[in-house]
Structure 1
Amino acid sequence: MDFDELFPSKPDDPLALLAKQDLGPLSQDELDARIEALGAEIERTRTHMAEAARHRSVADALFKR
């Protein structure tokens, strides 16, 4: 599966643009900073997913018959 299959209908999506950026001109320090920033974004996304899952389970328990 290639990248275009993952994001076919969102050409202006920041993730799609990020994945298409040319890394060639970046220095080692810039690449390290990029990796650190992406790692922080991954952690932020995982935290949000966990909070959403907790919220969903509370809602499911509340509205369960």
Structure 2
Amino acid sequence: MDDDLKPRPKPPVHVVGQDLSTLSVHELKERVQVLKDEIARLEADMAAKQSSRSAAESVFRL
């Protein structure tokens, strides 16, 4: 029950152009992974939207 009261660690927040000199190699690796995961999420969403658009276009071409 006490675990529910502990603050959860926040995922690293990355700001484009941010000074990276204060971050450790481990922190940099974490941020790279977060950004890679976000890119994959964005690409999956784009693919889904392109698929939906293509399906809609094929219906309206008839």
- TM-score normalized with structure 2 length: 0.72
User: Which runs of structure 2 are paired with 1:1-65 in the superposition (5 Å)?
Assistant: 18-65=15-62
Count of aligned positions: 49
Distance across 2 between alignment mates of 1:59 and 1:45: 21
Identity %: 37
- CA-to-partner distance for each residue in 1:13-40, whole Å, 9 max, x for gaps? xxxx821211111101100000000000
Which of structures 1 and 2 has the larger relative contact order (alpha carbons within 8 angstroms, sep 6+)? 2
- Higher helix proportion: 1
- TM-score normalized with structure 1 length: 0.69
Structure 1 unaligned residues grouped into runs of 5+ = 1-16
Q: Point out 4+ residue stretches in structure 1 off by more than 3 angstroms.
A: none
- Which shifted more, 49-58 or 17-26? 17-26
